[in-house]
Amino acid sequence: MRRRSLLAAGGLATTTGWMAGAGLLLPPTPARATEAVDVLLVLAVDVSRSVDEDEAKLQREGYRAAMTDPRVVEAVRGGAMGGIAVTYVEWAGAEYQRQLLPWTRIASQGEADSWSAALAEAPRASLSWTSISGAIDFSLRMLAEAPFEATRRVIDVSGDGVNNSGAPVEQLRDQAVAQGVVINGLPILNDRPSFGRRPALPLDQYYAESVIGGDGAFLVAAEDFEAFGMAVRRKLIREIANLSGPVREYA
């Protein structure tokens, strides 16, 4: 397979402003532009107002714990290249997406621990509405800018509501799939309506029909925010190791 051309080396030093200005703990320095990894993985996380402070903490801690889990690190090290590249994105309505952690190569327990520590220090925002389409569009831009090469590109979308802002989510999903990108889902099945409205479909069904797409795409549904950490771990192992399985799983 023909490799994608990479960004110039001068773009590798870019980090988010809060990290550079506040002197906070940074993830491992991204590797050279010529370095290949097994998968480029965008973790796209819902921070809309339907996610309260306690739920946001459970969500972020779920990603931190999952990435440092020895079983996930084993999956990372077991690939042909022995490493993955990850970026952490937060999103809400169509007007809000941000890259919270830059593209970072993870190939060891120590690098996973450093990434987790950096995520713990990152500030959190909360905004109105839910634009899964905006999250996918932004994630595609992040993949295009990634300073690594990989044969697999995956967007991992987690959230607790349906698309209610921006373009139709199916439109952006189809654009991503046409570019060879896989979208996997992690719907959080809580009972709270979004802005006073309940979705016409159960959220796991909605994700299955409208959000996920691409070769081998799947979702792992968290029954609630408490189950989120387990769902993230199972999902990361499967997508990093490129394992087959059912289209829908539950944690």
For the stretch 182-223, pLDDT in tens is 999 999 987 554 444 555 789 999 999 999 999 999 999 998
d(CA 71, CA 152): 20
d(CA 249, CA 210): 17
For the stretch 105-130, pLDDT in tens is 999 999 999 999 999 999 887 778 99
pTM assigned to the model: 0.84
For the stretch 59-96, pLDDT in tens is 899 999 999 999 999 999 999 999 999 999 999 999 99
Q: Compute CA 28 distance to the chain's CA centroid, rounded to the nearest angstrom.
A: 18
pLDDT average, residue stretch 122-141:
91
d(CA 180, CA 204): 23
| Percentage of residues of the chain with pLDDT beyond 70 | 83
Q: What is the mean pLDDT of the chain?
A: 85
